[in-house]
Every structure is written in structure tokens, then in C-alpha cells.
Amino acid sequence: MPAVLAAVTALSAVPAQAQAHEGRRAPGLENCTASACHFDVAPGTYDVRVLLGGDAAAGTSISGEARRSLLPETATEAGERVARGFTVNVRTPEGEPTGADGTPGLDLVLGGAAPALAGISVTPARHPRQIFLVGDSTVCDQPGDPYSGWGQQLPQYLRKGLSVANYADSGESTVTYLADPALFPTVQPLIRRHDLVLIQLAHNDKTTDEATYRANLETLVAGVRAKGGDPVLVTPIVRRWFNADGTLNNNTALLVNGLGVDHPAVIRSVAAAEDVPLIDLTAKTKALVESLGVERSKSIYLYNEKRDNTHTSVQGATLYAGLVRDELVAQHLIPEKQAR
């Protein structure tokens, strides 16, 4: 099968082996089983078109590569077929830039209450717009449960034609992200005219002084613009640290480091000075966490699993990715018709 085109047609979510035994094996069905698909394609950006549904009522979601959520669960009635599409970035390493290579090609996983894939095609994307993510462990494609970065959940909110290239990496600060050859020196040459580059770095700038932090943000902005890209500064998600009165702690939770550097405030200042769009994710996640309160907010972080008040669960990452999607649309950074 040519690498540039793979097509699968299946009658239901019955495993490929079962369909073969029943004499109903369709051309190319070897690319998918009842729970997953693999396409032997080279690194690049691909449009995926799926036809969902089967003989029985179904609910199908799709994830892929490094646990990225690519398509939210879609319900279909018995006998119904529903077409959906998305654009996916395939690369090596397929997740965190300093992590494991992953597997070659495009890997998709079928999920949902009752997955049913009736058809699928994978073709090279023509003139896709990339959304690059520059960030830390709260943004990245986390390699294993129960962790998830918000960037890992963002693709499911976007339609075909927009692809998320998540180059966030665990443990990175503005200092290390600029210095490591696998990070900004790798990302910058990939940026094309009018690609979006969302920058959220703060959690690991614990020892970065204000002048250096500001200068690093300015360097990232200038580097994106030098390639014709559109930078977007994103203030960091809050940490789940409460005061006795039910509000979040002004220092630990709201990202003020040991040197007294108020990271969100500096980001807001640089955005204003450089005329860069700002997504104030600190303010939005603060409002959400405080509205949930001490107990209910535990489920959106990894408190219950790891006593971790910094990193998000899949539920929390999905909520936070939704906030980013809302801002991208509200600020006309992406067309509303390309958001889910």
C-alpha cells in the first residue's frame, strides 16, 4: 500500500480476523483491528478522514501517537454512519522532544463506549496550519497514565486543517528551552508563515531572575516572528495550593518564584510591550479551581493518585485545553469553524 494513501473499510468494530473468517475482509483492512490502526507513513502532517458507526449503536473516540486525543467520542445510532476528520502531526520523537522515539508511522487507538470504525483514509495534508506548543510538563504529551498535559488534549478541539505540533518538554524553563538543541533550535526552523506558536514556560523558572526571564520571553517571541510565525504568550496553569479561606496561595499556586518573580505578571507585561496575543491561563485556571473548591478540584490534578498539585489528570488537561480553545476562537487566532 503506498505510504501516501491508506484506506480501510470495515463493516463494524468486529476484529479483522473475525471478518476474514466470515469472508467479509475488505481491501486494506490489515491496517486496523477492532481497537487500533497503524499506517506506515513518513514523518509529516496528515489528514485523517474517518467514517464512524456500525450495525449497533456506538460511541467512538480516537487517540494517537503519544497518547494525543485526536477526536472526541462521537455517538452513532444503529445503522448510522458519521464522517469526521482531523489533521495529525507525525514525527520522531513522537512525544516529548527529549523523550523516546516512539514507533515509526502513524498509530491510532480506537476508544469510547463502543468503538465502531466503518472507514478511514490517511493522506498528506495540503497547506496545513500548525499550532506549535512551547512549554513544560503541564503542556507536553505525557508518556504514561495518569499524567496528561493540556497540549495532549488540545487536538480533539480542532478540525481538519489545523495540526498541533506539541514540542513541550518536561522540566524545561525559558533558559533550558532556548539552550537545548532538541527544543527551540529544532522548533524554529519548522515554523512557517502564520503558524501559531503558543509559549507557556514558567513552572521551572524557579531560579530565573526577572530580567533574564523577561529577556528569554522576548527572545522566543522574536525567534517566532523571524520565521513569519505568530507568537502567543500563555500564562501558566495554577498549582492547586489553597489558603484557609478557599482561595489559591499567592506564591506557590500563582507562580511567584523564590526570587519574588511574578511569572504571570511578567508574561502579561511582555505581551503588552511586544503586542503579542495573550492567553491568561493563570487567571482562567484560578477561577475554575477556586470555583470547584478544595475537594472537587482534586480530580483535575493528580492529587488522588500522586498527591501531585501541579500536574493534571486527563480530566483536568481536557478542561484546560478547552479554555485554550475558547481563547483561540475568541481572539480570532483560529477560525471558529475550525474548532470543535
SS (H, E, C) the chain: CCCCCEEEECCCCCCHHHHHHCCCCCCCHHHECCCEEEECCCCEEEEEEEEECCCCCEEEEEEECCCEEEEEEEEECCCCCEEEEEEEEECCCCCCCCCCCCCCCEEEEEEEEECCEEEEEEEECCCCEEEEEEECCCCCCCCCCCCCCHHHHHHHHECCCEEEEECCCCCCCHHHHHHCCCCHHHHHHHCCCCCEEEEECCCCCCCCCHHHHHHHHHHHHHHHHHCCCEEEEECCCCCCCECCCCCECCCCCCCECCCCCEHHHHHHHHHHHHCCCEECHHHHHHHHHHHHHHHHHHHHEEHHHHCEEEEECHHHHHHHHHHHHHHHHHCCCCCHHHEC
Give the chain's end-to-end CA distance (angstroms, integer).
32
Collect all residues with Cβ–Cβ distance below 8 Å to 166 and sequence separation of at least 6. Answer: 68, 89, 95, 133, 139, 140, 141, 149, 151, 152, 154
Do 305 and 324 form a contact (C-beta atoms < 8 A)? no
The grid coordinates listed for 158 are: 480542532
Phi (first) and psi of residue 152, to 5 degrees: -70, -25
73, 62, 58: which is closest to 39 by C-alpha? 62
Mean pLDDT by 10 residues, the chain (340 residues): 34 30 40 93 96 96 98 98 97 96 95 95 94 98 97 98 98 98 98 98 98 98 98 98 96 96 98 98 98 98 97 98 98 97
For each of the domains in the chain, give its residue range(s) and CATH number, in order of start. Answer: 6-124 (2.60.120), 129-338 (3.40.50.1110)
